[in-house]
Amino acid sequence: MCRSWDLVGGESFARDGSKFKASNNKKSNFSRKKLETRLQGLDKKIDEYLNEMDEADRREYEDHKKAPKELMALVERKETYESYKKQLDETDENEMSTVDPDARLMGNNRGGVEMSYNVQSTVDAKHSLIVDYNISTNPSDQGELEIGAKRLLRLGFRKFIFMGDKGYFNGKCLFKVKKMKVKAIISPQKPPAPKEQPEAFHANKFIYDEKNDCYTCPAGTFCQPAARRKHFVRDTTIKNHAQHVHTINSVIRAKVTIAQ
């Protein structure tokens, strides 16, 4: 309807995410690490109860009628946590919630974390109208630009500019958006700038050569691919580029490295 009334330009869009607090709370959320810690604590308590009962039997005490009831409560809680852990293994998720199962722990504007949903909205530039939205369980905006571009293409938009803040800056995602023939304009993230390193050798000063897959450092030397490592949280492969120490001028090396 909005398109038929010429309220949507379809040439430029901006995307951003908003955190909406869920009905759930952190007590009903369980991560793998949290479950492991709880299970270890329960195993310790169960062992203590069993040792106390053995000691009572040896001394022929009869005032431990409460022990079996409390012990059963611990065993039942352990079985519950083990079922949560099994569910995580089956779904390959890192966390789960017993209330609002789609909610996830996410950072808020107050510097804390709470159970939330990440609502991604895409706005058309002509009259600032929301043309699309989706609810994500991703705690960050990483990877959401690609999803937004696909959704706009399915709505019939073509040859548009897609904008976002630095939260969407991800090389793998930008490459996929480029292959969709969508022009993305994303604010770059602030590059690492160690205080002890000269500004001339900060990361943004290195020039990438896509054809040869190498970087040219400010001193004019080349950094070749050295190793790859998997970043499981962002589901990306990180490639490290480096240069052999013996090929670096000793004067330059003294300026840019800390280790002796």
Q: Model confidence over 21-47: pLDDT tens digits?
A: 887 777 777 888 888 888 888 888 888
Q: Which long-range contacts (CB under 8 A, 24 or more apart) does 250-254 make?
A: 252/219
CA angle, 257 as apex, 252 and 260 as ends, to 5°? 105
pLDDT of 229 over the 80 cut: no
Q: Is 62 a member of any domain?
A: yes
How crowded is the C-beta side of 60, counted as CA atoms within 13 Å? 0
| Res 232 pLDDT > 50 | no
Share of the chain above pLDDT 90, in %: 20
Two structure tokens written together for 167? 């939260």
Instruction: Kindly report the three-state secondary structure assignment for every residue of the chain.
Output: CCCCCCCCCCCEEEEEEEEEECCCCHHHEEEHHHHHHHHHHHHHHHHHHHHHHHHHHHHCCCCCCHHHHHHHHHHHHHHHHHHHHHHHHHHCCCEEECCCCCCEEEECCCCCEEEEEEEEEEEECCCCCEEEEEEECCCCCCCHHHHHHHHHHHCCCCCCEEEECHHHCCHHHHHHHHHCCCEEEECCCCCCCCCCCCHHHCHHHCEEECCCCEEECCCCCEEEEEEEEEECCCCEEEEEEECCHHHCCHHHHHHHCCCC
Same domain, residue pair 107 and 182: yes
pLDDT of the residue at 230? 53
Rg (CA), the chain: 27
pLDDT of 234 reads 46
Mean of all residue pLDDT scores within the chain: 78
Residue 143 φ/ψ region, left for φ over 0, alpha for ψ in the -120 to 50 degree band, beta for the rest: left
Domain holding 110: CATH number?
A: 3.30.420.10
pLDDT surpasses 50 at 162: yes
For residue 247, name the pLDDT band (cuts at 50, 70, 90). very low
Instruction: Please identify, among 164, 186, 208, the residue that sits at the C-terminal boundary of a domain.
Output: 186
Tell which of 58, 79, 97 closes a domain.
97
Question: Which residue range is the domain that position 65 belongs to?
Answer: 27-97
Q: Are residues 111 and 219 in the same domain?
A: no
- Cα distances from 121 to residues 2, 30, 126, 219, in angstroms, run 17, 28, 15, 44
Whether residue 194 lies inside any domain: the answer is: no
Shared-domain flag, residues 110 and 90: no
pLDDT in tens, 122-142: 999 988 999 999 998 888 888
Query: Rounded to an integer, what distance in angstroms lies between the CA atom of residue 114 and that of residue 83?
Result: 24
Tell me whether residue 120 is in a domain. yes
Give the pair of three-digit tokens for residue 236.
């990306």
At 66, is the pLDDT very low, low, confident or very high (cuts 50, 70, 90)? low
| Residue of 19, 7, 17, 18 lying closest to 124 (CA atoms) | 7
The model's pLDDT over 143-153, given as tens digits with 9 standing for 90+, comes to: 899 999 999 99
Residue 58's pLDDT is 67
Mean pLDDT of 241-247: 49
Say yes or no: 149 and 165 in one domain.
yes
One domain, residues 211 and 162: no
Q: How confident is the model over 34-61, as a mean pLDDT?
A: 79
Same domain assignment for residues 49 and 88: yes
- Asked if residue 218 belongs to a domain, the reply is yes
Residue of higher predicted confidence among 126 and 52 = 126
- Greater confidence (27 vs 75) lies with 75
The mean per-residue pLDDT over the stretch 151-166 comes to 92
Q: What local confidence, expressed as pLDDT, does residue 203 receive?
A: 74
Average pLDDT (196-214) is: 76
Kindly state whether residues 17 and 31 are assigned to the same domain.
no
In a domain, 179, yes or no: yes
Residue 94 Cα distances to 20, 62, 171, 217, angstroms: 20, 45, 24, 39
- 197-209 mean pLDDT: 75
* Average pLDDT of span 45-52: 81
Give yes or no for residue 244 having a pLDDT over 60. no
Residues 25, 27, 31, 32: what is their CA dihedral angle, to the nearest 10 degrees?
Answer: -170
Look at residues 97, 122, 141 and tell me which one is the last residue of a structural domain: 97
- Does residue 110 carry a pLDDT above 50? yes
